[in-house]
Structures are given as structure tokens and as C-alpha cells.
Structure 1
Amino acid sequence: MSAVRKSTNWFALGVTAAAVVIVLVIGGVVWFANSQANSPGTVPESSAVDPDTGAIAVGSGEQTVDTYVDFMCPVCNSFEQAYGPTLQQLADDGTITLNIHPIAILDRQSQGTAFSTRAANAAYCVAVDDPANVTAFVKAMYAQQPSEGTAGLDDAAIATIAKNAGASDAVTSCISDGTYSRFVAAVTEKTPLQAGVSSISTPTIAINGTVLANRTDLTGDPQKDIVERLNG
């Protein structure tokens, strides 16, 4: 009895191969979309910016004070008025490195304009343009801080503040393009939590890596709250 010859079903093989290709393509698209969503985007390239933490360094002292601030946060403004001059002096005299972390947790308070993100993005634009102008920009932003619940400053107004603080015209497009917006979102997630607090809050202050509790550790006296802790 002769053996029955089995023919190859090329149509079925073709359909299977096509299905495998489609699955691989879809998987690749999903992977790419996820990687893009989780990417920090464009990272600010500046000698003053830590690409991992987002800190903008002022000064070069051995001890560190980290401030995590949102430019729409009224308590951050109060902190700047009370502690800013002392922190600046400590940075100027070489006692500390002041690490400013512009973050965005109050976008919901700006009528859909994402003011907090745009303002933090602008701080990085200034740092990339010339980090020497960052502290002047920060002070000027607080001086013109919008109230929570308003639309905040538009990009043109923020760019004017940046240029008045010493930045070049190059910051204008950086601000309007939101060049570092995704980076702002990424570093915001790295903000440490204060003791007893379940979500990120501003201002958050850390001295030599130890996070302070605003309600109990900040009295409004920079000598007691900052200087004495630095001196041990």
C-alpha cells in the first residue's frame, strides 16, 4: 500500500506568520508608548542641574539644604520671604549648597493652564541659559506670584520675568515650548514625603538629607530652624 502524501498548507502558515508579525508590531507599539509615557523627556543640560533629582544647585558648600517648591504655593512664598535671605547667605559664604527643586503639584489650581508646570519648566530654562540667574528668577516669580484658583501668569509674562532676571532671549522659546515639562513631572514624583503626610506637599525642606516636618520643625526663625541644625 502506498503512503498518503501530506501537502503543506501554505495558506495556514501564511496566516499564522502574519498574526505573529501583527502581535509583535502591536507589542512594539505598546512598549514604545509606555516608554514614552514614563520617559522624563528632555533633561536640562546645565552644570547646576542634577539630571536625576532635578535639583538646581546654588553655591558649593559641603552641607546641603534642599527646597522643593511650587511657584503657585503661597506657603512656599512665605518660606522664601522668611528663610530665603538666610539660605542665600549660607550659599554665598560657602556653608551650604542650596538645592532648589522646582516641582508641580498645584496645576489643578490654575484653571487648566498648568501654571505650576510651566513655571517650573521656566526655572530649568533659566538654569540652562545661565544658572547664575536662577535665584533672581525665583525671587521675581514669588514677587509676582498669582493667587491659587487663577489662571496664573502666561508664558510671555514668565519669559519677561526670566529676562529681567538676566536670562537671554533664548529662554522665550524654551518657556513657550515647555521644553522640560515632562522632566518636571518626572522629578516631582521624586519629592520626599514629610513625616505623617501621605502625599507630596510644598514646601518640603531637607537639611543634609533629613526631611523636616513643616508643622513642627519650621517656626519662622531661620537661625533656629536652619542654622542651628547645620551646626549640629
Structure 2
Amino acid sequence: MMMAAARKSTNWFAIGVTAAAVVVVLVIGGVVWFANNQATSPGTVPQSSAVNADTGAIAVGSGSQTVDTYIDFMCPICNSFEQAYGSTLQQLVDDGTITLNIHPISILDAQSQGTQYSTRAANAAYCVAVDDPANVSAFVTAMYAQQPTEGTSGLDDATLATIAKNAGASDAVSSCITDGTYTKFVTAITKKTPSQTGSGIATPTIAINGTVLVNQTDLTGDPQKDIVDRLNG
């Protein structure tokens, strides 16, 4: 009788160990999911009527045609593009021909001695756009005017805040810049930059009405030929 009773008894120890193992697996799975989610999360998304949360574009103007510029504020060729084409693009915005979609991205952090200048500068652009998108064009122009040389530490956050406020932003922009509010958004949105040749991201990358240009062959330095004529078909 005792043996029969023993055979019917429940092994609570084994069940407890199994349950504990299941809990551990679930916890580990949850940690892995959270880590992966954090790694791919865009973080805080800029809340502005001018910012496209999906593409990262900051819209300037309201024309029916579009010119998209993907820029890194540490990129000297982006500055050269601004000097050659900036006034033409602004005129096209002013006369209602185009919406200029500015995409501040970050591919040159390695060129700023560990200060992540490209990311910080792009974050500052989104801070300005959220504060008042009317000041974005002035901010971009001022950033190019004070562009640091590749390989230097870049401008510090206090200087970025001063540039933003001189462009018309309110004092509230300072904490947005120093806190790096949109840093993760910049990192996430940079990955969406279209490739010019299929071999990777480059700056500046320009798209006219959705067609990506190849800097080496499609841009000659002549705004009439490269931008206006393409807009006119």
C-alpha cells in the first residue's frame, strides 16, 4: 500500500525547477526584446508641423514640387553645395515653386574627436524646427557659416544653442540641444538616407521630385542646369 501511494505522489521539486526555468527564459526573452527595441527605437520624435516623422524631413516652403537635401553639418561638400545652390533653392521656396525638405543626418561623427558633432548638430536642427520651423533656414545658413573642419571636435552645445537663438529660436532651445533630445531619432533616421549609387550613404544627397541625383555626375555646379531645368522637366 505504501509503495502504491509513493508512486502516485507528485514531484513538486521537479515542477518547481521547471517553473523556475520557464520564468528565467521568459525574463531573458523580455530583456533581449527590450534591448533590441531600445536599439532600434527612434526615441523622442520631433513634434512639429514641419517635420515628417517617417522620413525626418524638415519642410521649408509649400511648393508642389520637392527638393530633398540630406546633409551632415560636418560635411565640407555639403557646405560647397550650400554656397553653390543655396540661394537658388531659397528663391524657389520663396516663389512657391518647391518645398525644400532638409534632412539633417549623421555619418561623420568619427571625424569630431569623439564629440559626435554630426549627431549633436542634427539634433540642434530638430530642436529649432520644433521651437519654430520658420527659423530653420537661417539656422542652416548660420551653421554652414561657422562649419568646423573635419577632424576637429566641432562646435560645443553652448555654441550650437547660441547659433540657434541668433537664428530666431527661443531660449527653450538650449535645453533641447544640451539634453540631446532627438539624438536617437537622428541615428534612426540617418539609416533611411537613400543611396546615390547603391554602395552606401553619402552627403550631400539630393533628390528632385523623388529622383536621387548622383553628385559625381548629375551636379555640375550650375543651379539652372542641375535644379531649375530638372524641375521644369
How does the TM-score come out when normalised to structure 2?
A: 0.97
Q: Please name the residue that 1:186 is paired with.
A: 188
Amino acid in structure 2 at the alignment position of 1:4: A
Q: Shift in Å at residue 4 of structure 1?
A: 2.0
SS in 2 for 1:140: helix
CA deviations over 1:157-214 (Å, ceiling 9, x no partner): 000000000000011000000000000001100000002x511000000000000010
Within the alignment, does 1:162 sit opposite 2:159 as a pair? no
Task: Give me the whole-angstrom Cα distance separating, in 1, the residues matched to 2:106 and 2:3.
Answer: 75
Ranges in structure 1 where 5+ consecutive residues have no aligned partner: none
Q: Please name the residue that 1:66 is paired with.
A: 68
Identity of aligned residues (%): 82
Give 1:29-178 correspondences, 5 Å limit.
Answer: 29-178=31-180
SS in 2 for 1:65: strand
Q: Shift in Å at residue 92 of structure 1?
A: 1.1
Task: Give me the whole-angstrom Cα distance separating, in 2, the residues matched to 1:76 and 1:134.
Answer: 16
Task: Give me the whole-angstrom Cα distance separating, in 2, the residues matched to 1:220 and 1:181.
Answer: 32
Runs of 4+ in 1 over 6 A off after TM superposition: none
CA deviations over 1:105-133 (Å, ceiling 9, x no partner): 00000000000000000000000000000
Q: Please name the residue that 2:200 is paired with.
A: 199
Q: Shift in Å at residue 29 of structure 1?
A: 1.0
SS in 2 for 1:52: coil
Within the alignment, does 1:229 sit opposite 2:226 as a pair? no
Q: Shift in Å at residue 94 of structure 1?
A: 0.8
RMSD: 1.1
Within the alignment, does 1:219 sit opposite 2:195 as a pair? no
CA deviations over 1:23-60 (Å, ceiling 9, x no partner): 10111111011101110000000000000000000001
Q: Please name the residue that 1:4 is paired with.
A: 4
Task: Give me the whole-angstrom Cα distance separating, in 2, the residues matched to 1:218 and 1:19.
Answer: 61
CA deviations over 1:55-86 (Å, ceiling 9, x no partner): 00000111000000000000000000110010
Task: Give me the whole-angstrom Cα distance separating, in 1, the residues matched to 2:211 and 2:73.
Answer: 23
Task: Give me the whole-angstrom Cα distance separating, in 1, the residues matched to 2:195 and 2:13.
Answer: 60
SS in 2 for 1:4: helix
Task: Give me the whole-angstrom Cα distance separating, in 2, the residues matched to 1:60 and 1:44.
Answer: 19
Amino acid in structure 2 at the alignment position of 1:84: G
Q: Shift in Å at residue 3 of structure 1?
A: 7.9
SS in 2 for 1:158: helix
Task: Give me the whole-angstrom Cα distance separating, in 2, the residues matched to 1:190 and 1:18.
Answer: 42
Q: Across the two proteins, how many residue pairs are aligned to each other?
A: 231
| Residues 1:2 and 1:140: Cα distance change in structure 2 (over 3 Å) | closer
